[in-house]
Amino acid sequence: MSKTPEYPIVFIPELVSIRKQFTPLVFPSGQGDAPIGASEGLFENVLKHYFGEIVFPQQVMFPDGHRLPFTADFLIVEPLSGLHLDVEVDEPISFATGKPTHSIGEDDYRNKCFVDANWLVIRFAEEQISSQPERCTRFIAGAIAQLTGNDTYRQKLLNVEKVTPMRQWSYRQALSLKKKDYRQGYLQKRKN
């Protein structure tokens, strides 16, 4: 029996982890128009506070052989190496459709497309972004430092605690969370 994935979930391209080749095989093609999640505006402010101008929201990546592109919630481009990080914010229920989303396995193909394009993928649960935005930022800074050797961003976040891991939900668990209005609950806490 396999272990339930825990956020933050990280997918590292082999070219990055083994060969230390950071240039993407597919570059972003501009800003997309995908719907912006409820917590993404807050997180964008925190990311830009610590990372500055290397943060790009809603960036489109068009994998080879695809008719439709994917949109990264946030693209962070490490300036020294050119490492491209796709930072995703996963919510259990879509407000637009009312259906479960980002359940275990649902984003596997999408993750593979980004990794095949030589982009690092880091996925957070929306609840983590909502309650621990600086901790999530610390995690990203740590990944940049570990993979590229650029410790600049991690140094700014040394006094921030580590992000609290959270289990990814199954489709059935997301349905249960919907019945409990779970997403509305943690988003409401953020506003108070």
pLDDT in the model for residue 182: 76
Question: Is residue 151 in a domain?
Answer: yes
pLDDT digits (tens, 9 = 90+) for 134-185: 999 999 999 999 999 999 999 999 999 999 999 999 999 888 888 888 777 7
158 occurs within a structural domain = yes
Residue 40: inside a domain: yes
Domain enclosing residue 182, as ranges: 6-191
Characterise 154 by phi-psi region: left (phi > 0), alpha (psi -120 to 50), beta (else). alpha
pLDDT band with cut points at 50, 70 and 90 for residue 67 = confident
In a domain, 1, yes or no: no
Beta-strand ranges (E) seen in the chain are: 6-7, 9-11, 28-31, 55-61, 70-77, 84-90, 120-125, 166-167
pTM assigned to the model:
0.93
**Which residues are CB-neighbours of 112 under 8 A, at least 6 positions away?**
none
pLDDT in tens, 13-38: 999 999 999 999 999 988 887 767 76
In-domain check, residue 57: yes
